[in-house]
Structure 1
Amino acid sequence: MTPRLVATDLDGTLLHSDGTVAPRTRAVLAELEERGVPVVYVTGRPVRWMETLWETVGDHGLAICSNGAVVYDVAAHRIRDVRAIPHETVLEVARELRRELPGTSYALEKTDGFGLEPTYRRRQDRTVLEVPVAPLEDLLDGTVVKLLAQAEDVDPEKYWRQVEALVGDRLTVTWSSTWALVELSAFDVTKASTLALVCEELGVAAEDVVAFGDMPNDLALLKWAGTSYAMANAHPLVLEIADHVAPTNDDDGVASVLTDLFEL
């Protein structure tokens, strides 16, 4: 059966390693738009990291950002829905992780910006040159969509598992970095749970969705979708659970699969 909706991660999946969208991919996305097939971008990126991409990945429909915490109306350029973390939960979890995993430092992703602690090492940020730097308690204003916890000189996957065990069901813990940085969202907020809400609105069942991903923060998404593809460059856990394997992101793997599925 031809899918009725496409859900794709961006970094390491739809985008080349340099963050660009290949001409072949742009052409495939444009043809799907002409056919009326929704393409939902389901990413860990915050909205502020998306502004330079809309022109090349599609300036219509909806995007799910911050690992499911934000649904963004692309055409209107506004946040439509937010699944926020209560401030008291942020503080409770942060204090426990700091106690049990010494050296942990934090940053906050909010609907109106980004802030970090003085000890938080900024490895990348595509849009914000100047951000508030202060203790976590002083950054905690506005609507929080992600708590980022980071540690230096520890094994990334081990750190992810440790944080997950300590947090339990208070927050949802995901990992998509090559260093010890984990992203914490509100309980039961994942790419999959938010996409399920969007698909319910659109009248699209899970079995009619094809999904693409490459990192552990895509696991829930790939398990939920009726048809799932791990990129050939994906993390071993992703390759293990996906139904199929697509060519690498740098080989335009998503475009290649969609061309075959939709007989473009």
Structure 2
Amino acid sequence: MNRSSLIKALVFDLDGTLLNSQKIISERNQEALMRSYQSGVKLFIATARPPRSVNKMVPKELLDCASGIYYNGAYVKEIHGKTMSYTISSADSGKLIDFMCSHNEKDAISIESEDRLYALSDETFAKNAKHMVLPPTIVTPSKLKELPANKVLLFHCPSSVKSFVMQYTDQLTIVETDSKELMQIMAKDISKSRAVSALCKKMNISMDSVMSFGDDWNDLDLFKTCGYSVAMGNAEPELKPFASMTTATNDEDGVAQILEQLMITHRY
């Protein structure tokens, strides 16, 4: 890393990055973030999670200082409250819903729409609770098709489902995360990096002056587009070569370790 370059914005994934294994932001990490913000550095939280989940996990003091990028970039809330929402076409989401229903996989699909989670069966939560904060609202297939989908979630998909979904790579953004237990599907060209780029453009910040932190494949686009990228020590092994550097794990305050070094270098 070029120590003489001033970092103007910091982007953080949550799970496996800013959150430790207990899903908590440590005091050390929070202090490092607040010191960075107070020095004039912009903060972005970029996560696959919905806003309601982030609001429960991130202290209000920190939320008030950061722009939020949710659903891997499909929903963005600027620090002053303005929002941007991007959804999958009803035709494309309808095809996914029809396929899952016709192949007895209705328990394995849910949809995030404007900060609410919907599913077709109570079994969806029973089988996949670790991926959800609260049980989803249960609706009929026809109602599910009508919803503006920021993100479609497919859980523990067999190869037949994955093969079907991958036919739509030209129309949709498809990312596998959580050790490939979860397929996350958004509108075409939706990504964390696109959302960060849009925010930075409004703030007159070059992407070369942005540092991103992450651990999973939905962070790859950030690693490729930000001037500096940091892979957590617990990151997917295949992801680490794409990062500028590697830090300690999320249980060892890996984020804070990098930020503290930046503070010394730049005299924040």
With the shorter chain as reference, the TM-score category is 0.7 to 0.9
Shift of 1:200: 0.8
3-state secondary structure, aligned to 1:71: strand
Question: RMSD across aligned C-alpha pairs, in angstroms?
Answer: 2.4
The answer for the alignment partner of 1:85 in structure 2 is 88
User: Structure 2 unaligned runs (5+)?
Assistant: none
- Structure 2 counterparts to residues 103-122 of structure 1, below 5 A: 103=105, 105-118=108-121, 120=124, 121-122=127-128
Residue type at the aligned position of 1:146: K
Which of 142, 145, 155 is residue 150 of structure 1 equivalent to? 155
1:29 is aligned to 2:30: no
**4+ runs deviating over 6 angstroms:** 158-161
For the 8 Å contact 2:230–2:246, the answer to whether it is kept is yes
3-state secondary structure, aligned to 2:246: strand
1:13 is aligned to 2:14: no
User: Structure 1 unaligned runs (5+)?
Assistant: none
For the 8 Å contact 1:106–1:147, the answer to whether it is kept is yes
- Structure 2 counterparts to residues 62-211 of structure 1, below 5 A: 62-74=67-79, 76=81, 80-95=83-98, 103=105, 105-118=108-121, 120=124, 121-124=127-130, 127-129=133-135, 131-151=136-156, 154=158, 162=163, 165-178=166-179, 180-211=181-212
3-state secondary structure, aligned to 2:21: coil
Shift of 1:112: 4.6
User: C-alpha deviations, 1:195-247, integer Å up to 9, x for none?
Assistant: 11111111111111111100011111111111111101001221121111011
Shift of 1:25: 0.9
Shift of 1:98: 6.7
- When normalised by structure 2's length, the TM-score is 0.86
CA pair 31-116 structure 1, distance change in 2 beyond 3 A: same
- When normalised by structure 1's length, the TM-score is 0.87
CA distance in 2, matches of 1:211, 1:222: 7
Shift of 1:95: 3.7
The answer for the alignment partner of 2:221 in structure 1 is 220
Give the structure with the higher percent helix: 2
Shift of 1:176: 2.1
CA distance in 1, matches of 2:19, 2:34: 15
Deviates more, 1:112-121 or 1:214-223: 112-121
The answer for the alignment partner of 2:236 in structure 1 is 235
